[in-house]
């Protein structure tokens, strides 16, 4: 299935201060997530930012917070963003059928959000190198489960170039420079 830019929305899941400190692959996420977010912004992909129980887990980490500060942040207590009615309605009202998902933890909030998106007939594109968990096995098993459930695995480089489509795209040079 080709992922079309005009049908795509990006969902950032719970990349928050107190939890991020314990993520096993946080160094890679600190490098990869800003590239993905900057690329989504260059391509004008709408962005939904979720935060799990801010009082307990804190704010979205810097520099991600700075990158997404013009978007609305949705606080939730449910693990799945879709179990919070307001957020599910935002997905439905967006008119987008492809939801690109990245964040933490892969085996809890990311997994449950993706499962619910799939059950609501969205195409879920999981950016595997922009997700993380405290434990490597939890991360790995969640990705396997999501693929079996119908999520499409990808990497930030792959999805950004797929959405760009053509080296003649006016955004190609900026996307290409992010990847290098």
| CATH fold of the domain at 5-179 | Rossmann fold (3.40.50)
Query: Taking the complete model, does pTM exceed 0.85, yes or no?
Result: yes
How many Å apart are CA 118 and CA 42, to the nearest integer? 26
Distance CA 64, CA 29 (A): 11
Instruction: Answer whether residue 138 shows pLDDT above 90.
Output: yes
Residue 87 contacts by C-beta under 8 Å, 6 or more apart in sequence?
48, 50, 74, 76, 81
Domain boundaries, the chain: 5-179
| pLDDT tens column, 144-163 | 999 999 999 999 999 999 99
Q: Give the span between the Cα atoms of 164 and 171, in whole angstroms.
A: 7
Q: In the numeric block, which tokens belong to residue 11?
A: 């969902």
């Amino acid at each position: 299935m080709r992922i079309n830019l005009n049908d795509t929305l990006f969902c950032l899941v719970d990349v928050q201060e107190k939890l991020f400190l314990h993520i096993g692959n946080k160094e890679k996420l600190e490098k990869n997530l800003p590239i993905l977010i900057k690329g989504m912004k260059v391509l004008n992909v709408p962005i939904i930012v979720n935060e799990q129980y801010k009082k307990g887990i804190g704010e979205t980490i810097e520099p991600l917070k700075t990158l997404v500060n013009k978007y609305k942040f949705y606080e939730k207590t449910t693990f799945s963003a879709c179990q919070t009615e307001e957020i599910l309605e935002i997905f439905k009202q967006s008119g987008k059928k492809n939801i690109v998902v990245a964040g933490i933890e892969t085996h809890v909030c990311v997994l449950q959000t993706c499962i619910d998106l799939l059950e609501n007939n969205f195409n879920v594109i999981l950016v595997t190198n922009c997700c993380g968990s405290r434990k490597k096995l939890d991360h790995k098993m969640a990705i396997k489960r999501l693929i079996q459930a119908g999520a499409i695995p990808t990497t930030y480089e792959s999805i950004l170039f797929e959405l760009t489509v053509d080296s003649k795209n006016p955004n190609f040079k900026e996307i290409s420079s992010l990847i290098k």
